[in-house]
Amino acid sequence: MIVKAEKDSISHTSGLSGTESENDSVCETASLTTFPESYALKNEEAASLKQNYILHMSVARENSEAKVALSTSNHSCIVYQVGEQIAQLTSLNDHDKAVSNVRISSQNTNLVFSGSLDGTIKLWDLRRSSKCVKTFQDDTRGDDKLKPITSFDINCDNRVLCAGTELVDGDAFLLFWDIRTTNLLGGYWESHTDDVTQICFHPSQTNVLVSGSSDGLINVFDINETNESAALQNCLNTQSCVEKLSWIKSREGEELDISCITSTVDLQLWSLEGASPYLAIDRDTIGKGMSNSSDDCYLVDVHQFSFTQDLMLLGGCTLGNGDNLQSLKLSHDSKIKPMANFVGNKQIVRCSWHNPDTGVLLTAGEASILSVWKPSVTEDLKSTVKPMKKERKRKPTPY
């Protein structure tokens, strides 16, 4: 259903710079409905011929092309140049454990960050034979046991790096570094009680940070404050494990809200000051919109269009060959409708990126394939969901 509501030895970081609607009234079933928009598979590239899969993606736009960094399940990162063709630039291999996230610098696309469960975040310079030029880690304990990095992000002026960790000796940490010096600035460890799953800096405010965790909390911080207690501005309880966080433009103005995908495949939209989500869409409604069983549907990510501010929910079904990939549109009237069926998809998709201006979509997933999708000029493409026979279970996240 859709529910609407009103709208260890390191120091604490100091001064771091409703109403319920029935399913039938909120969604249209995809199986008997014409998909109003069409996407064509323009290009694809296998990142590996082995049984590796792609978990994370970071994209930097470069005029008509893009630089794409992917993390794979064999502890490496692969960087591509994507235009009319897909060209592999390099492979980054220096982590001992699973890579938990990857980021391309917003100020210099030759700089790539990769974080890992081995407790390190490495900065690579593609101009220097893809050499690791800096390593960020918390070695304040004085031993070889580093805190496993589960997620990280960089603030918008590229000066502060923040990483979340697994639960270590009863504490889940948010660690902060100065990117220019690799100095550990400090950390927070009292706001989450389980593994940190997401770190997201505000795209335009250097001091605003949100974190998500397996404890079900989304915490909003002002890292300019002098201690963790003062920095914590709001604590949002999703009542489920937080799996994916992203910033979206508010419908009321220029302020940014938070979209959250939970481990139970629910979508929640929050304002930064909210006590509860102002919009919540449950798994049953999402499954019905895709004409899939709610037990087998999944969400990849939420993307937003520049002009209408409508949201695109990208997801699919794990049954059969895992090739079922669809999108739903969430419009201003809070109704979700079938949007597009991605004919030619060959995998369960784990990560995606969307260009809000051109509509180009990049996807990657469990078959280790990077796919480039472009909106087709053909309108009113009539397609239905392929029948699923053989069941295939989704692989667990390896961290």
pLDDT tens digits, residue range 328-364? Answer: 999 877 889 999 999 999 999 999 999 998 999 999 9
Position 23 scores a pLDDT of 43
Position 184 scores a pLDDT of 95
Helix (H) or strand (E) run with residue 388 in it: none
Sign of CA dihedral 234, 239, 241, 247: negative
Instruction: Say whether pLDDT at 20 is over 50.
Output: no
pLDDT band at 49 (very low <50, low <70, confident <90, very high): confident
Amino acid at residue number 362: L
Mean pLDDT of 381-396: 43
pLDDT in tens, 71-114: 999 999 999 999 999 999 999 999 999 999 999 999 999 999 99
Position 147 scores a pLDDT of 95
pLDDT band at 14 (very low <50, low <70, confident <90, very high): very low
Average pLDDT, whole number, for the chain?
87
pTM of the model: 0.87
Position 308 scores a pLDDT of 81
Nearest of 79, 82, 60, 61 to residue 69 by alpha carbon: 79
Instruction: Say whether pLDDT at 217 is over 50.
Output: yes
DSSP readout, 22-80? -HHHHB--STTS--S--EEEEEEEES-SSS--EEEEEEEEETTEEEEEEEETTS-EEEE
